[in-house]
Copies of this chain bind each other. A is one copy, B any other.
Amino acid sequence: MSKSKLTYLDFAILGLLHQQPNTGYGIRKIFETTALGNYSSSPGTIYPAINKLRKLNLVVQKSDTQAKKKKLFFVSSEGTQQLIAWLSMPVENEDIRKISNILILRFAYMDDLVNHGVKIRFLKSMISMMTTYLNGLKEYHATENENLKLHGRLALEHGIILFKSQLKWAKYALKEISNLN
């Protein structure tokens, strides 16, 4: 039945739809505003992926009678099974290692290639943007704490912890770089 293998993008969408039936547009908005936006939220990304899931009978579409254009998608029982199978897969070493951070790669390469000012500006930008982002996460945590399920809350806290420690690193790095002045 399911000849074509599901990608991470497919599972990301399937998981969202399992939490809450949604339209393609709704999924796009989530990708646009949350950390899921590793993938583009553009129509060319989301709609073909949803249509693939539909063809595989992993999601079913129910047209909204109110707004005819709107298409609501629900995860089918087969889709739920696939999701469970994916979630139950063992943790691979690969998954641990493959967390790329393009900013850190850039920083690592800077050494003798850019001047002191560029390095300082880079770290200060990082600190400022991460602070803003972290505050957003914290605020969300404070207001939505009650409404979140355990796993959602823990994943959010993972993000908070991660940005906190990255901020700490950036401040430390700034000091180290400044010392060379």
User: A residues touching B (Cβ–Cβ < 8 Å)?
Assistant: 8, 11-12, 15, 18-19, 35-38, 80, 83-84, 86-88, 90-91, 93, 95-114, 118, 122, 125-126, 129-130, 133, 149-152, 154-155, 157-159, 161-162, 164-166, 168-169, 172-173, 176-177, 180
Closest Cβ of chain B: how far from A116's Cβ, in Å? 12
Q: Are B151 and A169 in contact (CB under 8 A)?
A: no
When A107-B151, A107-B155 are in contact, do A35 and B97 touch as well, CB less than 8 Å? yes
Q: Are A111 and B149 in contact (CB under 8 A)?
A: yes
Closest Cβ of chain B: how far from A56's Cβ, in Å? 18
Count this chain's copies in the assembly: 2
CB closest chain-B residue, reference A93: B129
